[in-house]
Structure 1
Amino acid sequence: MSQVLHTPPPIQATADDDLAALAARHGLSVSGARPTVPQYVRQLWARRHFITAFATAKLTAQYSEAKLGQVWQVMTPLLNAAVYYFIFGVLLNTKHGVPDYIPFLVTGVFIWTFTQSSIMAGTRAISGNLGLVRALHFPRAALPISFALQQLQQLLFSMAALIVILLCFGVPVAASWLLVLPVLLLQFVFNAGVSMVMARMGAKTPDIAQLMPFLLRTWMYVSGVMWSIDKLTKKDNLPHVVTVLLQSNPAAVYIDLMRYALIDSFHSRQLPPHVWATATGWALLAGIGGFIYFWKAEETYGRG
């Protein structure tokens, strides 16, 4: 007698919504899913000690192989300032009519270097740390923020040299020096926001890092680092739209505010109109906008 084998009927595939409901009942979530903005902020705050320690470690290791070590944190912007003084102050005579030109120039170089270095480091924050991104689970915004914090720490070292330069050139200590704190806070928020924008772009297109030095150098030349925007904008033959663009340039705004805070010969009439509102607006626009822009691609970093 032959035995008939009956194949059991195929099990019906569970619908996606049933699977989602099942996962929800057991507290499961999609691996690597992007958290909400409030959750993301809480995750960043929970890792604030990591962000600080990572920034400090990067700063310490930056010149670890150089014989002068951390002295280069001050020497590098000072040497840049010396080169710019020779080229622009002496050869091109941009120092003409600018009181306290050396403090004026050094302040501009130090504050510009803070923005430039933050953006350059932020551009490589993801693409240059793929091993860390792929190995550990943490909010990826911690990387560009920590690089901006690293540059802030480096600026604070440089500020000590800047204070010595100001005093050597007869710039007196004044109550306006307290304005350095809000200026640095606004500039840090701006730098961190732009760094997050560039980190997302650099993660997708690493070649952007090769283009950034040229863009940043062009930005520096129109930011009044080596020359006075106030003197140029007072010329009658300058189109009004150019004047507005120069005065609204965020890098120039933070440089001028720092000069106003530290140099007594740099007066409030040399500042662009509504300068504090402009500085705050740029910080909020870059900080919040850059954060949201970076967060929207959170689940894509380190993949592909």
Structure 2
Amino acid sequence: MSTAAESAKTAEIAALAERYGLFRSAARPPLRSYLRELWGRRQFIYSYARARTYALYAGARLGSVWQVLTPLLNAGVYALAFGLLLGTATGIENYAAFLICGMFVFTFTQRSMTEGSRAISTNMSLIRTLHFPRATLPLAYVVNELNQLFISMGILLVLVGFTDGPAWRWFLIVPALLLQTMFNIGMTLIFARLGTFLTDISQLLPFITRTWLYASGIFFSIPDKLRDADAPGWVIHVLALNPISAYIDIVRRALLESHAEHELPNAWPIAIGWAVVTLVGGFIYFWRAEDRYGRG
């Protein structure tokens, strides 16, 4: 068939598709339409997240109790290593709540990113079988981790209630966790796309998140350590730009009255800025590759 004949045939097919409202199923829809489709799949996102939680702990004798035990055991190990052996608990009142709060907040972001990086690659059969917005998969992973965080935060509130007593400032946890969830969605979408086309990213993520863990002030007060080291004041402002440090700080402000003397500067504006920029940027970055997921 000649080039002219092929062009004519293609034009004829395109005209028929336009006439009957047909479109290529794998084509990337406009951003506004994509958002509407995503909202229409909200029940699927929630149901898929619940199914993943059930499947994850189905083979364990304690079942979903491990959702709480895992971060608590991690916090216990780090409390022994850093708080007792290395003495990072010095000068920090209610160090147990201080540490567990940081661990729960960090784990929420860490697991969202790590699990989300495999959201597309491990669901290729589903993607190639059904037509749906691919962002529903990484979003379901974030919802799954958010459900786990709610359980963890319930335990933390009981601990803080016994040690510090309840307070009105606890209501600040709601906007604090909302901002972190926005940030996590953006990061998860970014790593979901990266994990699809750069399969080695899942091998690098544990090293990235471990470094992030030690640099985020989970085990110690960043301002206190820098003051002890006679570091210039601007260093604290630079380290405060770390998004995880900001989210940990605003949650600690909401829960721990004693945290007032360990606060990072401008934590709320930094947390808001990271949440908005990462959510918008991550969503657009993921959406732009929508027609490439499932190929190959």
Task: Please indicate, yes or no, whether the TM-score normalized by the shorter chain is above 0.5.
Answer: yes
Verify: 1:259 aligned to 2:248, yes or no: no
Take 1:274 and 1:130, find their aligned partners in 2: how far apart are those partners?
42
Task: Structure 1: state its 5+ residue gaps.
Answer: 1-10
Structure 1 CA distance for aligned equivalents of residues 231 and 126 of structure 2: 50
Cα deviation, residue 61, structure 1: 2.0
3-state DSSP class of the match of 1:39? Answer: helix
| Inter-partner Cα distance in structure 1 for 2:66 and 2:192 | 26
- Do the aligned residues in 2 keep the contact of 1:118 with 1:195 (CA within 8 Å)? yes
Aligned partner of 2:276 in structure 1 is: 284
For residue 240 of structure 2, what is the aligned residue in structure 1? 247
Partner of 1:111: 105
Distance 1:66-1:235 versus aligned 2 partners, 3 A rule: same
Alpha-carbon distance between aligned partners in 2 of 1:205 and 1:29, rounded to the nearest angstrom: 29
Aligned length: 293
For residue 233 of structure 1, report the CA deviation from its aligned partner: 3.5
Query: Counterpart in 2 of 1:75?
Result: 69
1:208 alignment partner in structure 2: 201
Match status 1:271 vs 2:263: yes
Residue 123 of structure 2 aligns to a residue whose secondary structure is helix
C-alpha distance after superposition, 1:77-127 (max 9, x if no partner): 110010000000011100001111111001011111111111111111111
**Once the 2 structures are TM-superposed, how far is the Cα of residue 18 of structure 1 from its aligned partner?**
5.3
Percent identity of equivalent pairs: 47
Q: Distance in 2 between matches of 1:214 and 1:138?
A: 33
Bigger Rg, which one: 1
CA separation in 1, counterparts of 2:219 and 2:173?
Answer: 20
Alignment partners' CA distance in 2, 1:23 and 1:215: 47
Question: What are the equivalent positions in structure 2 for 1:33-52 lying under 5 Å apart?
Answer: 33-52=27-46
For 1:237 and 1:19, how far apart are their aligned partners in 2?
72
Please report how far the alpha carbon of residue 135 of structure 1 lies from its aligned counterpart in structure 2 after TM superposition. 1.6
TM-score (norm 2): 0.94
Determine if the alignment matches structure 1 residue 176 to structure 2 residue 159: no
- Greater helix proportion: 2
Amino acid at match of 2:180: Q
Matched, 1:296 2:265: no
Counterpart CA distance in 2 for 1:72 and 1:280 is 31
Measured after TM superposition, the shift of residue 219 of structure 1 is 0.4
| 1:164 Cα offset (Å) | 2.2
Q: Do the aligned partners of 1:63 and 1:69 also contact (CA within 8 Å) in 2? A: yes
Does the 8 Å contact 2:236/2:264 carry over to 1? no
Q: Residues 78-157 of structure 1: matches in 2 within 5 Å?
A: 78-157=72-151
Q: Compute the displacement of 1:220 (Å).
A: 0.7
SS in 2 for 1:266: helix
Partner Cα distance (1:224, 1:167) in 2:
23
Paired residue type of 1:274? N
**8 Å contact from structure 1 (residues 40, 139) kept in 2:** yes
On the 8 A contact 1:172/1:264 being kept in 2, the answer is no
Any gaps of 5 or more consecutive residues in structure 2? Answer: none
The CA deviation at 1:238 is 2.4
2: distance between equivalents of 1:12 and 1:136?
33
* CA deviation map 1:193-249 (0-9, x unaligned): 100000000000111101100100000100011111121233564255643331110
CA RMSD of aligned residues (A): 1.8
Say if 2:230 is the partner of 1:230: no
